[in-house]
Structure 1
Amino acid sequence: MRTSTQLAAMVAFLALGSYSAAAGEAGFLGGIDIGKNAARYEVRAGGAAYDVGPFTPDTFDGGVINGEVLAPSPAFLAVLGSPRPYIGTDIAISDDPIDVFYAGLNWEAYLTDRFYLGFSLGGSVNTDQKKRNDEGELRDLGSPVLFHLQASAGLDFTRDIGMQVYLNHISNANLASSNDGLESTGARLIYRF
C-alpha cells in the first residue's frame, strides 16, 4: 500500500512538470520568478497518506485531511524573497492519530509561468508526543512542539486555481532524545484571491 502511494505521488509530480514543459511556457532558462503571489491570499485543501515519507518510520496507517491558509507577504520580508505567512493542519484519519497544527513562512519559485516549486519552514504543535499503534510500536516525536518543513510542486490552471503535490515533515531536528518524526504525502487544490 505504501509503495503504491509513494509511486502515485511521484507520478503526479512528474506529470505536473511534464505538462508544464509540454505547454511550451517561458521557463527555467528565461528566469525564475520568486514571490509571484506575494500580495495574495491563498487557501489550500486536500488529502494525504498518513505517516508516509522518506525521512520517518512508516509504522502508522491511514489518511490525512490537510488545510492551509496563506496571507500576503509583509513588506519587511521582501529582503527574504517575499515569503508568505501560513497556518495549516494535518488531521489524521487513523486508528492511532497524531494531529498536527503548524505555522511559518512559505516560498515559491516559478520555473515557468504556471509550474513552481515551494518550500515552507515553521513550527508545529501536535496532539500527542508519544503514541503506540495497534502492533505496539511506539512513535516518540520527542516533544509536543516541533519544526515543520514542507516541500511542494504546483501547477496553476488559472491565475486563481491550481493544484499541488506536497510532503509535510514534522520533527525536532535531533534536539530531543527521540526524533521519530512524522510525515504526510499528498495532493491538494488551491484557490487564490
Structure 2
Amino acid sequence: MRVAKTAALLLLSLGASAAHAADVLPAAAPTPTTGFGKNAARWEVRLGGGSYDTGPFTPDTFTGGTVNGEILAPSFDFLSFLGSPRPYIGTDIAISDDPINAFYTGFNWEYYLSEKFSLGFSAGGAIMSDKEKRNDEGELRDLGSEVLFHLQASAGYDFTPNLGAQVYLNHFSNANTAESNDGLESTGARLVWRF
C-alpha cells in the first residue's frame, strides 16, 4: 500500500512538472507563411518546358523548345540565417536542330510575398553539352566554356501546399571570364510538386 501511494505521488509530481514545463517552454516555431523558409524542410520536383534561346541578356539565334526539370532538397539548418536556401539539381534539354543542353546545380532562395505567391532566385554552376554551336544560318554561338555560371529567376503560385506552378528564366554564361561570352537563356513554365 505504501509503495502504491509513493508511486501515485511520484506520477502526480511528474505530471505536474511536465504540465508546468509545457507552460514555461516555448512552443516549436510555426512554419512561416510569408518571407523566406516556407518550404525549407521539403523536397520539391519541378517539371515543364519553355522556349530555347529566349531571354533578355543573350542573342536569340536558335529556335526550338526546352524540357526543364529540377529537384530541390530540404535546406540545411545552419543556412537559416541566409534565408534557408535549398540545394538543387536541374536540366534544360533543348528540342532544336542545333541543341545545347544544360545540366546545373546550386542553391535556390524562395520568398513568399503572400501565402500563395512567391518569387525565386537560384545561383550555381552548369555543365553544357557544347561550347560552340552554329545554327542553320551559320551564326555561331560561342559560350566560351562548357562550364558556366547558372542564374535563375522565377515567380510561382501555389494551388495547394503540395502543388503549384511557376514561370522561370534560366541564364547560363561565363560572366566574362573567357574570351567569348555569348551566353544562353531559356524561358518557360512548369508545375511544382512538394513532398
TM range (shorter): 0.7 to 0.9
CA contact (8 A) 2:34 2:115 kept: no
Q: Which residue of 2 aligns with 1:129?
A: 131
Q: CA deviation at 1:133?
A: 0.4
Q: Which residue of 2 aligns with 1:118?
A: 120
Q: CA deviation at 1:77?
A: 1.2
Residues 66-96 of structure 1, C-alpha deviation per residue, up to 9 Å, x if partnerless? 0000000011211211000000000000000
Larger RCO (alpha carbons 8 Å, 6+ apart): 1
Q: CA deviation at 1:33?
A: 1.2
**Unpaired segments ≥5 residues, structure 2:** 1-32
Q: Which residue of 2 aligns with 1:49?
A: 51
Moved over 6 A (4+): none
Write out aligned runs for 1:84-123 (5 A): 84-123=86-125
Question: Using the alignment, how far apart are the partners of 1:46 and 1:129 within structure 2?
Answer: 25
Instruction: Give the count of matched residue pairs.
Output: 163
Q: CA deviation at 1:32?
A: 4.7
The answer to whether the aligner puts 1:78 opposite 2:80 as a matched pair is: yes
Residues 96-125 of structure 1, C-alpha deviation per residue, up to 9 Å, x if partnerless? 000000000000010010000000000000
Q: Which amino acid aligns with 1:38?
A: A
Q: TM-score by structure 1 length?
A: 0.83
Question: Using the alignment, how far apart are the partners of 1:101 and 1:76 within structure 2?
Answer: 27
Question: Using the alignment, how far apart are the partners of 1:42 and 1:143 within structure 2?
Answer: 30
Larger radius of gyration: 2
Question: Using the alignment, how far apart are the partners of 1:61 and 1:35 within structure 2?
Answer: 37
CA contact (8 A) 2:154 2:166 kept: yes
Which SS does the other structure have where 2:51 is aligned? Answer: strand
Q: CA deviation at 1:178?
A: 0.4
